[in-house]
Amino acid sequence: MINTAQDLKEYKKRLKKALHNEFLRTTLKNFYEAYPAGRARALEGLDIQSLRAEIASCKDQALPRIEELFEAFKAQAEAAGVKVHLARTARDANEIIAAIAKDHGVRKIVKSKSMTAEETFLNHHLEEEGLEVVETDLGEWIIQLRREGPSHMVLPAIHLSRQEVAELFAKVTGEPQDPEDIGKLVKVARRELRKQFLSADMGISGANFAIAASGTLGIISNEGNARLITTLPRMHVALVGLDKLVPDLHTALTILKVLPPSATGQVITSYVTWITGAPECAAAPEGKKEMHVVFLDNGRLALARDPVFSQALRCVRCGACANVCPIYSLVGGHNYGHVYIGAIGLILTYFYHGRKNAQAIVQNCLNCQACKSVCPAGIDLPHLIKETYGEVLRQGYPKPFKNKLLARVLKDRRLFHFLLRRAYLAQKPLARSAEGFIRHLPFFFGKEHGFRSLPAIAKTPFRDMWPRLYERVDHPRYRVALFGGCLVDFVYPEQGHALVKLLKNRGVQLEYPMAQTCCGLPALAMGEKNVAREVALQNLKAFDPADYDYLITLCASCASHLKEAYPRLLADAPGLVGKVRQLTDKLMDFSSFMINVLRVSAEEFHGSRRKVAYHAPCHLCRGLGVTQEPRNLLAAAGLDYRTARREDVCCGMAGSYSFEFPELSAELLRQKLEAVEETGAELLVTDCPGCVLQLRGGIDKRGGKVRVKHIAEAVAEERKEP
């Protein structure tokens, strides 16, 4: 049975165990690495962006009309001889289906895969009612025999090895099985399950689509078991979430274009079955199938009206969010969801399976945006995960001390900056001043935090250097404000200094408004929306966008937070909505400014051809969608850019994540640095001070030779004297 960790301590214990499961790690890593190319191949020739927008908009329009669509479906289906039911709760659904079975003298049921039936724990209920239920999807059958929940929405048994399956099948058949012959193992399933198809009284399926216009069910499958269970037994019952209702075939066919590529990298699955009305069935008393469709509400109708969370119902259950999740690739589905797995699982668990099952797992998100970038329905998954965590906290999950501290400190810039300055003094005895690291971790860190060296707070923050660096420019071409962010200001002021050097003699009037403060991302990451809103207001006061042509940042995370979260946080702030829009319109990352605005060229640089590798920060390549400019800038600056594996995979920093889940962070960092070292680069550059912290600290710890710099520093070093 499914047993999800309900507190962080237990959860972390299980994560550690998963990290040490060699088979799981290898199989998930192979899948993680193979998936993107498969998906891309299957989507070749399709305009995924516009398909995604179309699906999102179709779903968003359908959601407020679910009841209407349900009535339309019901009218069509009933006219064609199907009985349609609506279950308010999971228990209602199970009882309705059990009653249908009993009323018709059913003893054996064959099932095809249905996440909705997993959601309601239907099998468990039917078995308690004395019915025999056999899962017929191979993966589902395997986990049913093992009494486990699925570890992936599409590949439910991905966590199991061939040896484990062979052992299991040996028990089932009473004959030894060769684990090396997977074809033969599959034949065992074919033989065993064929008997079940032929002797069952009832088939239970889910559905990927319920088309309101015609009362049609659409079912996607590869194995063909859905066809068999809807054909051979005399009865068919489909359990369908209300969110699967679509107005018409057009919508279903549009979703079908992207669902299989997103799920398994297939252009289409082997079978797509469209059932309208009760079809002929020689095994049924009157030659016509007894057919029922049970729609499940279980909170969906209310969720559909939720201003924030309704988009979770756009989900088409492809599992892509798990396929690209760096955390899923390390710990697997049993540690990354309850019934629903992956990013969407962290959210839906809260709604369908309760706060207790969600409260630990929902904290395990890097906010790396990989899931959001592939979701075929355009769900803003990282945003909803943070919102879910915020809900969990509001509902009484004990607030971590860091949240209380943060709420107090972050809202008061003067206090926050005072504390940072005090931290410099406090760390002095610990500092290795030459390298910029602290020698020992402060006492409150456990040894699992030792995977990277931590930087020392700078002696002179950027804001204190600024009066000396400031230069008035007569008749500037561009008026530019720098949004520094805490790390540039207090830890890596040299990155800001590099920017100043690079802008010298280019007609840029640079300003550094002193009232600016933390962007607020750490607050949002901890589910503290009010604090995030408060600092957003302060920053908007510090920067009047009307004063500048551009607002530039050296920190991808700050930039992406300003751009994405500020409009949401301040949507209800009178008089500020327009200002926020101006601010986000003028916001630009460093590399884009250099390439697209200043149009720097090779003549300005020495052309040293130093070998560099590049790490693409999550919040730059996915958050802001900036991918070409940093690479073009490296080329323009005369650096020899070497591509690395996993270039756009999270380095594991992810703000406070690396402190909450140090072992996972360390593993992502290890994989990242290995890939960088393979390139033979002497220098690793990136455009986010947070990533610099992680990567530089990691190199220091492993005694690596690669130096890590912010791209602004690396490019500044290459510039000829202006």
Partner 1 sequence: MNHYSDLEILKARAEAVQVVVTEVPDLAQAWRYAVELTQKQGGAALAAPGWDAESLAALEQECVQAGLRLFWQNLRNQVDGFHTGLTRADRGIAATGTLVLDSTSEDVRLATMLCKTYVAVLPRSRIKADALALEKELSRLMHSPPRYLAFITGASRTSDIERVLTLGVHGPLELHLLILED
Q: Position 326: which residue type? A: P
Q: For residue 346, which of 381, 398, 294 has the smallest C-alpha distance?
A: 381
Single out the residue of 8, 80, 308, 597 in contact with partner 1 (rule: CB under 8 A).
Answer: 80
Indicate which single residue of 213, 469, 573, 675 sits in contact with partner 1 (rule: CB under 8 A).
213
Distance CA 117, CA 25 (A): 29
State which of residues 106, 117, 122, 165 lies at the interface with partner 1 (CB under 8 A): 165
Residue from 57, 173, 274, 547 touching partner 1 (CB under 8 A): that is 274
Q: Is 412 exposed, middle or buried (0-12, 13-18, 19+ CB in 10 A)?
A: middle
Say how many CA atoms lie within 13 Å of 407 toward its Cβ.
Answer: 11
Q: What angle do CA 185, 189, 195 make, to 5 degrees?
A: 150
Alpha helices by DSSP H, 510-576: 521-525, 529-542, 556-569
Closest CB to partner 1 among residues 155, 322: 155
Task: Give the integer Cα–Cα distance in Å for 177 and 138.
Answer: 16
Residue 158 interacts with partner 1 (CB under 8 A)?
Answer: yes
Q: CB-wise, 282 or 434, nearer to partner 1?
A: 282
DSSP conformation letters of 309-369: GGGGGG-----HHHHT-TTHHHH-GGGSBSSSBHHHHHHHIIIII-HHHHTTGGG------
d(CA 242, CA 63): 9
Contact call for residues 706 and 506 (beta carbons, < 8 A): no
CA 440 to CA 658: how far, in whole Å?
17
CB of 139 to partner 1, least distance (A): 4
Q: Would you count residue 58 as binding partner 1 (CB under 8 A)? A: no
Integer Cα distance of 711 and 346 in angstroms = 35
Q: What are the angstrom distances between the C-alpha of 702 and each of 159, 453, 628, 674, 682? A: 31, 10, 30, 11, 15
User: Is residue 146 within the footprint of partner 1 (CB under 8 A)?
Assistant: no
Residue with tokens 């290459």: 718
| 302: number of Cβ within 10 Å | 12
**In the complex, least distance from residue 48 CB atom to partner 1, rounded to whole angstroms:** 15
Q: Does 194 bind partner 1 (CB under 8 A)?
A: yes
Closest approach, Cβ 214 to partner 1, in A, equals 4
Please report whether residue 391 would count as binding partner 1 according to CB under 8 A. Answer: no
269 sits near partner 1 (criterion: CB under 8 A): yes
Nearer to partner 1 by C-beta: 145 or 301?
145
Which one, 4 or 222, has the nearer CB to partner 1? 222
Name the β-bridge partners of 437.
432, 455
Should residue 48 be labelled a site residue for partner 1 when binding is judged by CB under 8 A? no
488 contacts 691 by C-beta, under 8 angstroms: no
Nearest distance from C-beta of residue 229 to partner 1, angstroms: 10
- Residue of 43, 278, 347, 650 interacting with partner 1 (CB under 8 A): 278
167 in contact with partner 1 (CB under 8 A): no
Instruction: Choose which of 280, 448, 585, 678 interacts with partner 1 (CB under 8 A).
Output: 280
Residue 50 touching partner 1 (CB under 8 A): no
At 554, list the tokens.
């050296």
User: CB of 468: closest distance to partner 1 in angstroms?
Assistant: 58
Q: Which residues pair with 641 in a beta bridge?
A: 612
Number of H helices, E strands in the chain: 35, 20
Among 72, 93, 96, 193, binds partner 1 (CB under 8 A): 193
Q: Among 3, 68, 81, 596, which residue sits at the site for partner 1 (rule: CB under 8 A)?
A: 81
Q: Pick the binder of partner 1 from 54, 135, 137, 494 (CB under 8 A).
A: 137
Minimum Å distance from CB 153 to partner 1? 13
Q: Considering the complex, what minimum distance in angstroms separates the CB of residue 240 from partner 1?
A: 16
**Least separation, in Å, of the C-beta of 178 and partner 1?**
12
> Binding residue for partner 1 (CB under 8 A) from 37, 75, 182, 415?
182
d(CA 34, CA 378): 22
The residues in 15-44 that bind partner 1, with binding defined as CB under 8 A, are 27, 30-31
User: What binding mask, one character per residue, do residues 282-321 give for partner 1 by CB under 8 A, x or -?
Assistant: xx----x---------------------------------
d(CA 66, CA 549): 46
Minimum distance from residue 216 beta carbon to partner 1 (Å): 5
Instruction: List all residues 6 or more positions away from 700 whose beta carbon is below 8 Å from its beta carbon.
Output: 435, 437, 452, 453
Is residue 638 near partner 1 by the rule CB under 8 A? no
Bridge partners of 296, per DSSP, are: 87, 241
Q: Provide the mask over 226-265, with x wherever binding to partner 1 is found by CB under 8 A and - wherever it is not.
A: -xx-xx----------------xxx--xx-xx------x-
| Nearest distance, CB of residue 133 and partner 1, angstroms | 17
Instruction: Give the binding-site size for partner 1 (rule: CB under 8 A).
Output: 70
Nearer to partner 1, 170 or 407 (CB): 170
- Residues of this chain that interact with partner 1 (CB under 8 A) are 27, 30-31, 76, 79-81, 136-139, 142, 155-158, 160-162, 165, 182-183, 185-186, 189-190, 193-194, 197-198, 211, 213-216, 222-225, 227-228, 230-231, 248-250, 253-254, 256-257, 264, 266-283, 288
